[in-house]
Amino acid sequence: MVYTNSPLVSYTKISPNKTSPRNHPIDTITIHCVVGQCSVETLGEIFAKESRKASSNYGIGFDGRIGMYVEEKDRSWCSSNAANDHRAITIEVASDTTHPYAVNDKAYAALLDLVTDICKRNGIKKLVWSTDKNQRVNHLNGCNMTVHRDYANKSCPGDYLYNRHGEIAAEVNRRLNAEATPKTPKVLYRVQTGAFSVKSNADALAAKLKAKGFDTYMVKVGNLYKVQVGAFSVKSNADAMMKKLKDAGFDAFITTESGTPVTIETPKTETKVIKVGSKVKIKQNAHVYGKTTKFQSWVYPLTWIVHSMSGDRVVVDKDTTGKYAIMSPVKLSDLTIVE
């Protein structure tokens, strides 16, 4: 069997206290408490001493960081029972030094992540915990979680973690099941208003839709740029949107086909510049150039033709009907060009 190590590890210091290789496939999790809110580095220094004759596969510091001291291919010396440690991954978790040897939220969250990762990589499809020591040590009824107190007169892993083993198993199993269950793609009903081989044409349609107040987007499918409005999980909502689009004068139909999102580019519009011969309107209440006098009220609604220009002084002469002529100067900023 090929063994791997957890990618969650951020610190490694391999202990000399180990048996290599392990003689049993990994099928068990054994969680311990450190009895100290120490770092992964401190734990590494402890296990580095041969005189300690102790180690664990992994350790979790008070800050939630994960250290590795014995690779998974090897048996750690952790649980006072060789048979258990040959088949188990052992994990020391930073804890308080007094009963119930509580661990903090960061360490507990890291423990859940690590145990989930160990199960995934080693094919442990379900964690099973029992409060019955006999079931634990004999692995009855699928039980695959053991504790140090099963094999020695110790309180390890402390009541805080011991009483949460059922909760740990449930959460890890929830994560394993969530990843194992294939997700059914959600069907979305999209209202499509056009498909173009030339993107600029799609951009132009998208601009028209936005100008009418429709929130649109574009996707590319094959060689076509498709302009769509909305993505609805309820078809009746898509039907309602399609009706709105058709009432606004757009072609539309419903599709469930998606595609690669494409950025809509705003079509460049040519800026029209007022020049001699341009058709313009005089802004309401604008004054005759250089004076405080306003034009007569009938002048403002008409469209005028520019006769001459000098800087910001523009002279308008006749209106576009040819019926009126005023030959009057107007400030450039008081004119708007007419399409």
Question: What is the reported pLDDT for 180?
Answer: 62
11-180 folds as: Lysozyme-like (3.40.80)
Identify the burial level of 40 via C-beta atoms within 10 angstroms of its C-beta, where 0-12 means exposed, 13-18 middle and 19 or more buried: buried
- CATH (one of 1.20.1090.10, 3.40.50.620, 3.30.390.50, 3.30.70.1070) for 189-262: 3.30.70.1070
Question: What is the reported pLDDT for 271?
Answer: 65
Q: What tens-digit pLDDT sequence spans the chain (339 residues)?
A: 789 999 999 999 999 999 999 999 999 999 999 999 999 999 999 999 999 999 999 999 999 999 999 999 999 999 999 999 999 999 999 999 999 999 999 999 999 999 999 999 999 999 999 999 999 999 999 999 999 999 999 999 999 999 999 999 999 999 999 766 565 667 889 999 999 999 999 999 999 999 999 989 999 999 999 999 988 888 999 999 999 999 999 999 999 987 888 888 876 666 678 999 999 999 999 999 999 999 999 999 999 999 999 999 999 999 999 999 999 999 999 999 986
> What's the token pair of residue 301?
């609604």
> CB atoms < 10 A from the CB of 102, how many?
16
In sequence order, the 6+-apart residues with CB closer than 8 A to the CB of 277 are: 305, 306
C-alpha to C-alpha distances, 95 to 15, 80, 101, 150, 244, nearest whole angstrom? 21, 20, 5, 19, 62
Scored b (16 or more CB within 10 A) or e, 157-176 reads bbebbbebbeebbebbbebb
Q: What is the Cα–Cα distance from 313 to 302, expressed in whole angstroms?
A: 19
DSSP letter assigned to residue 205: H
Q: Where do the domains of the chain lie?
A: 11-180, 189-262, 279-337
Name the strand (E) or helix (H) holding 190.
strand 189-196
What is the full DSSP assignment across 45-88?
HHHT-GGG----SEEE-TTS-EEESS-TTSEES-SS-HHHHHHE
> CB atoms < 10 A from the CB of 270, how many?
5
Dmax of the chain from CA atoms?
113
Q: What is the Cα–Cα distance from 218 to 235, expressed in whole angstroms?
A: 20
Side chain identity, residue 123: G
Q: What is the Cα–Cα distance from 243 to 322, expressed in whole angstroms?
A: 46
> Kind of pairing, strands 260-262 and 216-221?
antiparallel
Side chain identity, residue 150: D
- Residue 235 contacts residue 228 (beta carbons within 8 Å): no
Name the strand (E) or helix (H) holding 166.
helix 165-180
